[in-house]
Amino acid sequence: MIAIVNYGSGNIHAISNIYKRLNIEHFISDDTNELRKASHLILPGVGAFDETMRILYSTGLKTFLDEMVLGEKKPIMGICVGMQLLAEGSDEGELEGFGWIKGRVRKFDASKLKAKPHLPHLGWNTVELKYQHPIFSDIEHDRGFYFLHSYYYDCSSADDILGTTDYGIAFSSAVNHENVFGMQFHPEKSHQNGINIFKNFSKI
């Protein structure tokens, strides 16, 4: 059963609607007793890194998720800011992230981007896979995914980079380490490709 972690951030109902269409059992909750029953966890995210981490710390969800992900090895997928929370920290703030995938979140330096694209990175773009993984099964790569962000995940290890996207520079747009997954794009806004990401995640 899929649990969408509700901490007041992210397009949780859009994600829920996709799972309803797929007829996949799921629920939305911020109750750790309920979340503990899930086989898979989704960590959505919209907003600032520190603000989001502060909520997770204050509600006890940070400690709980560490237990579920590191102790019980439950699969988790972070989306957009939810992916950035997987890092050790962010240039956007001062608080520590989960640190499940080593690296730091950096802001795009517009002065160093080739072709000087605008910030934030907004709209459709493609993901180039570094290796094949079941979570990207049945994806039409030329159709791409929907992005909205000004910060990117600077992974410490190339082995944790599942896919990259070019936006003046190549950045990590999909990451994976063991049972932890992160998608910088919004699969809930990415039409059939995004639906397939959610479906594939439920099978991991």
Annotated catalytic residues are 80, 186, 188
State the Cα–Cα distance between residues 102 and 88, nearest whole angstrom.
6
3-class SS string, 5-37? ECCCCCCHHHHHHHHHHCCCCEEEECCHHHHCC
**What DSSP element (H or E) covers 202?**
helix 191-202
Cα–Cα dist 186/45, whole Å: 10
Query: What does the chain come to in residues?
Result: 204
Give the residue ranges of DSSP H helices in 4-130.
12-21, 32-35, 49-59, 61-66, 81-84
